[in-house]
Structure 1
């Protein structure tokens, strides 16, 4: 943006249309001095102008762009008088925009309804793979920017535990703009909001316009919690011309109350697609220490799995917090799979491939499943509802499990074919 353009905008806002003039009267800070981030400090000015003081690791390449971007953005919203102290470490434009929006929102919250951004078309999910759900801190642009490269089935932009209380507003706007701008690949992208007692409603109203695939509701204790979120989603979708029901819900069960109410929670909304379990908060709630063996979690896990299955939705286990212990991760995930979980939470990209491999049917499992289905098919032709295979009786429930193995194998095959096409396409480019 040229200096002449800035002068023209300033003239229109200050001289030509004084009703739009707005002056910063207090200091407001947003953002952080961190990699791929920017700290913006809006301050009152003694001069009738916008003055930007910039310290940046990319000053020589992008210093003028950063200054012009900030000035143009502030003038667009009628901010004509202020000083801005900026410390930048390679922030992309969507990060700069997010930090400016957060600072302006702190100055005057009605700004929220004036902010605009380009929405991305929502990708249609072609399968229901949710083996891994990777948590990314909602106030860390550096990790978000690479989120689509990790290969997780679900990416969770976390506004709750991963964000300190003083950064909640900043994270809210960063997540909103990340959803609008970043390409997360084939991953389903959801947002873990804060509890309603700590800004959850504001989280939804701010980020829903950017079309997350789903909302994760922390500390879900009862069906009422889910119904409250369902109602809020419907109101916000309706207000913003988003198709009603487009946003799904992942209830996160982390308390004794939630475990005991798991079935009612699972059935509380047609938006529910997956029950999820959080063991760290659960063990704190029941007053025990979380062990590596996880004996204290067995009842809760079983209850949540049964509730999800009875409600006809998926279910995901808690994270394995020691990301360097791959052997322990594999053993624990095999145990999760054995009691009915469809996947689990992930705190580090190194865990993803190991979990995916565990949920992939082996060649032996696929071959046996096909034999089971074939044997029962032959038995039905003879007028019998049971068959035998390798000295074991096969009936309808056994055949149903076999069909699920075959269906899962076909899903893996489709996903792997799609991944190969993407790699080939990139090479051609």
Structure 2
């Protein structure tokens, strides 16, 4: 049975591409990619501790020079992955990047508890008077997975005060959960396999909590980035599980990811037929109907 969904669409993040913030050439090249949904300028895992300051400088220079997008251009998101709260570098990262209006979102890695999000929101509030910064939450540990309900609730205004910070001053709304398989495996001591069965529970937990709270769920990185067949298999699997997008570590992965996670022309036409039929039958007080031999439940 097919169910007609009524979930409101968000900005699509079918493919999010990581770019090392310390590599000026790769950062510049990422902005020549005109179809990627989200460019993530990375200050975290792809940057050595010796190059953290350099990466901040390059990322800030880039943010300062991003031209406004024209109304008729493809919308692309500029995101920065900061260092984790526990690293002690997050506050300096945020202070450096938040003054730039070209910054659309922040990916917060290794989130383990609601207090991590409260800290990020309080720092954003010190540097931003508006609320247009979105937060993407990196789930990379057993604690992060188990604490997902509390982490997501941290984005809700008026639930509680944390460390004396008024929730009305908090900035930053969570829009997506991003599952980081390699760090998760390291945290749990998992043995990685080509079948990814060791990741099944965590991936489905991330999707379940994302859907329950109207968030996007971004699937793991395909580290075998030169193997197209493996990437396609992972994409099909992720979409089957309910993920709305996937992380990319190489520009060549973007088109393949988008082709798997964005609806095809055939799917769009079929969806249009379903909506047309649902509208017709709803006027007759009919909740379920048949289309092409399949039962459609228009709920």
TM-score under structure 2 normalisation?
Answer: 0.84
Distance 1:197 1:392, change over 3 A: closer
Between structures 1 and 2, the one with greater helix share: 1
| 8 Å contact kept, 1:139–1:171 | yes
Counterpart in the other structure of 1:197: 86
| 8 Å contact kept, 1:147–1:184 | no
**Alpha-carbon distance in structure 2 between the residues aligned to 1:372 and 1:287:** 46
Counterpart in the other structure of 1:368: 270
| 8 Å contact kept, 2:14–2:262 | no
Question: 1:323: how far off?
Answer: 1.0
| 8 Å contact kept, 2:232–2:260 | yes
Alignment of 1:165-184 (within 5 A): 165-183=49-67
Stretches of structure 1 that go unaligned for 5 or more consecutive residues are 1-125, 238-242, 398-429
Q: Secondary structure at the match of 2:178?
A: strand
Given the alignment, which residue of 154, 165, 168 partners 2:38? 154
Question: 1:380: how far off?
Answer: 2.3
Alignment of 1:215-226 (within 5 A): 215-226=106-117
Alignment of 1:267-282 (within 5 A): 267-269=153-155, 271-282=173-184
**Alpha-carbon distance in structure 1 between the residues aligned to 2:243 and 2:116:** 23
Matched, 1:249 2:151: no
Counterpart in the other structure of 2:240: 338
Counterpart in the other structure of 2:202: 300
Matched, 1:394 2:277: no
Matched, 1:209 2:93: no
Distance 1:383 1:206, change over 3 A: closer
| 8 Å contact kept, 1:319–1:347 | yes
Q: String of CA shifts for 1:277-331, please: whole Å, max 9, x gaps.
A: 1000000011012222111111111111111111112111111111111011011
Alignment of 1:107-126 (within 5 A): none
Q: CA RMSD in A?
A: 1.9
Distance 1:292 1:177, change over 3 A: same
Question: 1:219: how far off?
Answer: 0.5
Q: Secondary structure at the match of 1:142?
A: helix
Counterpart in the other structure of 1:284: 186
TM-score under structure 1 normalisation?
Answer: 0.59
Counterpart in the other structure of 2:72: none
**Alpha-carbon distance in structure 2 between the residues aligned to 1:360 and 1:200:** 33
| 8 Å contact kept, 1:266–1:275 | no
Stretches of structure 2 that go unaligned for 5 or more consecutive residues are 1-8, 70-74, 157-172
Q: Secondary structure at the match of 1:273?
A: strand
